[in-house]
Amino acid sequence: MGCDPASQVYVRNKHKACEECGIKSTIIELPETTTQPELLAQIEKLNGDKAVHGILVQSPLPKGLDEHQAFQAVDPLKDVDCFHPENIGLMMLGTPRFLPCTPAGVIELLVRTGIEISGQYIVIVGRSNIVGKPLANMLIQKAKNANATVTICHTGTKGLSYYTKQADIVVAAAGCAGMILGDMLNTNCVVVDVGTNEIEDSTKKSGHRLVGDVDYESASKVASYITPVPGGVGPMTIAMLLKNTVAAAKLTL
Ligand code: NAD
C-alpha cells in the first residue's frame, strides 16, 4: 500500500478484523518511490511464501504504478479481493473460486435481512470493476440468492430516475454524495448504499464526516429498508474478505 489517507483507514480496519478472528495479517507499506518492478517483485515473493494464503494490493497505488498489472501478478489462488481476471472470469461463468468482497457483502446483507432477490428488478448505479460490474454479474446468475433482472446505470445514463423509480432494489455505488433522493425511488423499495464520501462538517472535530450516495433523510421516508453509511456495506465488505481468506487457506491445505 502507499500513503493514501483513506486507504490507510481501510487497511487498518481490515488488519483489526483479521486480528479479531485469528487471521495473521501483515501490512507491507511500500514507499511512494516504489517502482513497478519492485512492486511486482514484492508480490512474487508473497506468491511464493507458503505461510501466506491471501494477498491484497490496496488501491489506489501511488502515481505511475500500474494497478492492473499488479492485480494480475497476484497468484489467483491467493487473490482474496477477487480482482484477478481468472477469478472474475470464474465468477462470471457461475463457478466462482472467490467472490468480490463488496458485491458479496451487498448480497449477504440482502439475504440475511430476508429480502427476496430472485425475480426482483435491481438497479445498480455505478459500473466499476470492483462494485457495479461484478455485482450485476452475480445477481443475474441462475442460482440461489440471484436470478434477478438487473440494469446498470452510469454517467452515460440519461434520466437516471426513470430506472431507479421502477426498481425493487437500488444499489448506489457511484461515489457521489447524496445523489439518490427519495423522489427517485419506488415506494417500499430496498436501498443499499455502497457509497462512502467524505464531506465537510464543521461540527466534527475532524472537520468532515462520511456520507453515502443516497440522501438518507429523504430516501428513508420512501424505502422499506435502507443501509446506513457508515456501518452498512463497509463492515460486510471486510467480513467477505475474511471469508475469502479462510477459503484461500483451505485451497492450499
Ligand atoms: P468508481 O469511481 O470506480 O466508479 C463509480 C461509478 O459510478 C462509475 O462507473 C460511474 O460511471 C458511476 N457514476 C459516477 N457518478 C455518477 C452519476 N452522477 N450518475 C450515474 N453514475 C455515476 O467507484 P467505486 O470504486 O465503484 O466506488 C463507488 C463508491 O463506493 C465510492 O464512494 C467508494 O468509496 C464506495 N465503495 C465502498 C466500499 C465499501 O466497502 N463500503 C467498497 C468499494 C467502494
| 72 tagged catalytic | no
| 8 tagged catalytic | no
Q: What are phi and psi of 193, to 5 degrees?
A: -105, 105
Identify which of 125, 161, 242 to mutate to test ligand 1's pocket (most ligand atoms within 8 A of the CB).
125
Report yes or no: 245 and 23 within 8 Å, Cβ to Cβ. Answer: yes
DSSP codes joined into one string, 27-75: --PPPTT--HHHHHHHHHHHHT-TT------PSSPPTT--HHHHHHHS-
Q: Which residue, judged by its Cα, is nearest atom 3 of ligand 1? A: 128
Does residue 10 register a pLDDT over 90?
Answer: no
Measured on CA atoms in the order 99, 102, 108, 114, is the torsion positive or negative?
A: negative
Catalytic choice (75, 79, 81, 193): 81
| 81 tagged catalytic | yes
Distance 154 CA to ligand 1 centre (A): 9
Region 70-79: mean pLDDT is 98
Region 223-243: mean pLDDT is 97
Q: How far apart are CA 177 and CA 210, in angstroms?
A: 9
List the one residue out of 170, 159, 59 whose CA is nearest residue 115.
Answer: 170
Region 183-187: mean pLDDT is 98
pLDDT at 6: 72
157 CA: nearest ligand 1 atom? 20
Does residue 231 register a pLDDT over 70?
Answer: yes
pLDDT at 1: 54
Identify which of 68, 99, 155, 211 to mutate to test ligand 1's pocket (most ligand atoms within 8 A of the CB).
155
Q: Which residue, judged by its Cα, is nearest atom 17 of ligand 1? A: 155
pLDDT at 8: 81
pLDDT at 3: 62
Task: Pull the grid cell for residue 100.
Answer: 468480490
Q: How far apart are CA 43 and CA 246, in angstroms?
A: 20
pLDDT at 2: 58
More confident residue, 147 or 3: 147
